[in-house]
Amino acid sequence: MSDSYAELMVKIREIGQLEAVESLLDWDLETQMPPNALRCRADQLSLLARLVHDRRTGDEMDRLLSQINGSAEDSVQETNVREMRRTFDRSVKIPSELVGKISHVSAMAKGAWAEAREDSRFEHFAPHLSELIELKRQVADLVGFEDERYDALLDEFEPGMKTALVAEVFEGLRGPLSDFVRRLRDAPNKPDASILRGHFPQAAQEKFARRLTSAIGFDFQSGRLDVSTHPFCSGVVPTDVRMTTRYQEDFFSASTFGTLHEAGHGMYEQGLLEEHAFTPMGSAVSLGIHESQSRLWENFVGRSRPFWDHFYGECQEAFPDALGGVGLDPFHAAINAVHPSLIRVEADEVTYNLHIILRFEMERQLIDGALAVKDVPDAWNAKMQDLLGVSPECDREGCLQDIHWSMGTFGYFPTYALGNLYAAQIFETANRDIPDLADRIGRGDFATLLEWLRENIHRHGQRYRSDDLIQKITGKSMSTQPFMNYLHAKFSPIYGL
């Protein structure tokens, strides 16, 4: 068995290294690549996707997994074999040609999306979206599902999760969130969010963003920060993590909290055990758990009063013209102002999940054919009005604002809201285990929280599925209650409720 397992690990790590090369090429596409290189890059990514798929689904992989089945010697071997078997069983159903085609179409679609977003012309992106939806329907049909196609796509990002459960959770959130938004709208205290609009020079933003992310624990010797149209984090190995952000010189929050968000992802990647790199034991649990880390650092820490007790003086020094005369109280209220907005990545914590509910409902309709691609802008605008009471004036502010559909990542969006719920339970437990956590954050001690996350989440890799991990950490299954408790405890004092 040990010989078979050693052989399996060689193959798994080779696959992981190929995926790392693929990830780097994709990062370069988003950040550095000349525009005219897009078609060539699409061909390169397609080739790599096919090579990875062929290695993952080959007869040798099946033989080794079958030989080892039930003979794992410890939890590390058990995790690696279990997850590789799951990946094999899913991947072997999908032809290599289809995998390569999806990769190629997606690379071209990203370029089309960026141009369509710049021009605010959905019709320029629509043919690419239609093709990707059809390809992902094929994937769902090949993989198989019990209730609806979307189950097969959701399972890729949140293993074991079902569409019906997500819908039930989201329906349970919709009412309480809408009610709380109405209460805040009628509250006596109204934060002045306009103080976050002013002149914030990009050079100063870049310096301040690096200062914050370094302070909370992102290691720039093992990572970097660049600019892209849509912020993202790409973890190659724990010693090579690529983050991106975007800067708006007339708005403080976009880069500051966007970068903290990506740093949360980045520190998770840097916290995975290097000795298990390229294997399931050295990989993140799911995108929902990944999102819990980014939302935790962006919001539960980064928008907290203790965080700015520590950093606001430096913030005023970085932006003296815009914030030099603004006190800490109004600043903290402003960065936590609740106001239904058009842009998901700039949404406040209370309304953010409503953006995800919108996308989840539209994705289900697109995949099952209930919504035609040509009708996406109108459907988007109607749902924005229904859920948030606002309507975009152009496609760039509406259905073209996110890159994910151009990537073909249908089933991804629900993990954003699941991440919020996971983060609330995790942070609640961290405060229980570290009773003076708020004081530590106020003193600039972020290492204690990061070490707690390393111990309870990062080091486990994929040893546990999402709900099992949450149960292990918090003693409870996923629940909406800790998140709603957090919102009420944080925002009621700010709004005078």
Q: What pLDDT was estimated at residue 1?
A: 53
**CA torsion, points 405, 406, 410, 415, in degrees to nearest 10?**
-70
Do 434 and 440 meet the contact criterion of CB atoms below 8 Å apart?
yes
Query: Strands 233-237, 240-245: parallel, antiparallel or unpaired by DSSP?
Result: antiparallel
Which of 30, 83, 131, 262 is the catalytic position?
Answer: 262
**Rounded Cα distance, 262 and 259, in Å:** 5
Calculate what percentage of the chain has a pLDDT beyond 70: 100
Query: Strands 223-227, 240-245: parallel, antiparallel or unpaired by DSSP?
Result: parallel
How many CB atoms within 10 Å of residue 452? 17
Task: Domain ranges for the chain, please list them.
Answer: 2-144, 163-495
Handedness of CA 176, 180, 182, 183 (dihedral sign): positive
Q: What is the CATH code for 163-495?
A: 1.10.1370.30
- Give how far the C-alpha of residue 478 lies from the chain's centroid of Cα atoms, to the nearest Å: 18
**Rounded Cα distance, 130 and 436, in Å:** 52
Q: What pLDDT was estimated at residue 233?
A: 96
Question: pLDDT digits over 179-192, tens only?
Answer: 999 999 999 999 99
Question: pLDDT digits over 130-154, tens only?
Answer: 999 999 999 999 999 999 999 999 9
Q: What pLDDT was estimated at residue 230?
A: 83
Question: pLDDT digits over 288-334, tens only?
Answer: 999 999 999 999 999 999 999 999 999 999 999 999 999 999 999 99
Helix 376-388 and helix 352-368: axis angle, to 10°? 150
* 4, containing H or E segment: helix 2-31
**Rounded Cα distance, 147 and 386, in Å:** 27
Confirm whether 83 is a catalytic residue. no
If pLDDT is split at 50, 70 and 90, which confidence band does 167 have? very high
**Rounded Cα distance, 303 and 446, in Å:** 14
**Rounded Cα distance, 388 and 125, in Å:** 25
Radius of gyration of the CA atoms of the chain, in A: 22
Q: Of 157, 158, 155, 152, give the one whose Cα is nearest residue 139.
A: 152
* 51, containing H or E segment: helix 38-56
**Rounded Cα distance, 477 and 422, in Å:** 9
Mean pLDDT of 43-49: 95
Give the tokens for residue 160.
């074991």
Rounded-to-5 percentages of helix, strand, coil across the chain: 70, 5, 25
* 42, containing H or E segment: helix 38-56
Is this model's pTM higher than 0.85 or not? yes
What is the residue type of 415?
A: T
